[in-house]
Amino acid sequence: MHNILDTLYNLPIDAFMGQLMLGLINGAFYAMLSLGLALIFGMLNIVNFVHGAQYMLGAMMAWILLQTLGINYWASLLLAPLIVGAFGLLLERFVLRRVYALDPAYGLLLTFGIALLLEGSFRQKLGSSGQPYAIPAELRGGWDLGFMYMPTYRAWVLVASITICFAVWYVFERTRLGSYLRAATEKPQLVRAFGIDVSKMINLTYGLGVALAAVAGVLAAPIYQVSPLMGSNIIIVVFAVVVIGGLGSMSGAIVSGFLVGFVEGLTKVFYPAASSTVVFVLMACVLLVKPAGLFGRRA
């Protein structure tokens, strides 16, 4: 393998592995974000266009907490999702709830508008350039694996995101709470008639989905810098990921998140010019063969 790559592409193996690793890291963020989107879409029937801005808010919150109160990365990893998640609870309770009865386009436009509002306000205050966020001391450095150099922080992001995705998947697919969520996704009215307060479940699900975006934002801060538009750059790809995985499928969101990251990484090695469009090509191909997405239950 080493020889073939060397001769055909004149590319050292560690650069190749490095690109794949970068792709996987991107994939970790795609997976966490599309998982939240899938969760929210299932329960609220709303395409949460403000998801990217909520991811940005997570990173921004970590940065603000550090700048103003000196709160470190580890505390922010907990605090930022709590604060942004609480904002999500209020947003659902007082704003989103008003459009459920209307055509889905209203939910889409409403969340899109809120995203523009949030991103605009931060750009007004901070400009659109990125602010650096230092990697916490415990996670600096890296390991030489022989075939590539593995920065500790990237390894941490991979482990953390896989753990988070697995935990959310497990709760949704394997626990009693998850069975309530799945049931309410299918037939909310009937679940109400069993004595369950579905409105509260919808509220908490939205809060959880938003908090998930915020965790991803904090994890991303040291890698991508903190900027008001960081969410709008990534969210378009994440929507493609959701479509590839199958709307409303948890495992589909996770698997296709990592898959898209991986494919993007490969494309960067072999044909860099296509690396930012390959995801949409992939989406078109999947839709042609399986209109419901890789893991979709049906069209």
Report the distance separating Cα 217 and Cα 238, nearest Å: 14
Q: Least Å distance between CB 185 and other proteins?
A: 7
Nearer to other proteins, 140 or 187 (CB): 187
131 bridge partner residues: 226
Nearer to other proteins, 138 or 173 (CB): 173
Q: Least Å distance between CB 179 and other proteins?
A: 4
Backbone angles phi, psi at 38, to 5 degrees: -65, -45
Q: Least Å distance between CB 251 and other proteins?
A: 12
**For residue 262, how many C-alpha atoms fall within 13 Å in the half-sphere facing its CB?**
8
Q: Least Å distance between CB 42 and other proteins?
A: 10
| Beta strands at 142-144 and 149-151: parallel, antiparallel or unpaired | antiparallel
Q: Least Å distance between CB 167 and other proteins?
A: 19
Q: Least Å distance between CB 184 and other proteins?
A: 10
For position 94 contacting other proteins by CB under 8 A, the verdict is no
Stretch of 78-86, 88-96, 172-180, 257-265 contacting other proteins, by CB under 8 A: 172-180
Stretch of 21-29, 143-151, 174-182, 224-232 contacting other proteins, by CB under 8 A: 174-182
Q: How many residues bind other proteins (CB under 8 A)?
A: 19
Nearer to other proteins, 100 or 280 (CB): 100
Q: What distance separates the 2 farthest-apart alpha carbons in the chain?
A: 67
- Contacting other proteins within 258-297 (CB under 8 A): 297
| Residue written as token pair 């903190």 | 226
Nearer to other proteins, 48 or 249 (CB): 249
Whether 232 contacts 55, CB under 8 Å: no
Report the distance separating Cα 119 and Cα 198, nearest Å: 31
How many other CB atoms are there within 10 angstroms of residue 196's CB atom?
A: 15
How many other CB atoms are there within 10 angstroms of residue 134's CB atom?
A: 11
The conformation of residue 143, written as its DSSP 8-state character, comes to E
Please report, for residues 32, 38, 102, 276, the alpha-carbon distance to residue 242 in angstroms, rounded to integers and kept in the order given. Answer: 11, 7, 23, 17
- Contacting other proteins within 178-197 (CB under 8 A): 179-180, 182-183, 185-187, 189-197
Nearer to other proteins, 67 or 179 (CB): 179
Nearer to other proteins, 29 or 41 (CB): 41
Q: Least Å distance between CB 35 and other proteins?
A: 17
Q: Which long-range contacts (CB under 8 A, 24 or more apart) does 75-80 make?
A: 76/218, 77/215, 77/218, 77/219, 80/214, 80/215, 80/217, 80/218
Q: Least Å distance between CB 54 and other proteins?
A: 26
Question: Site residues (CB under 8 A) for other proteins?
Answer: 176, 179-180, 182-183, 185-187, 189-198, 297
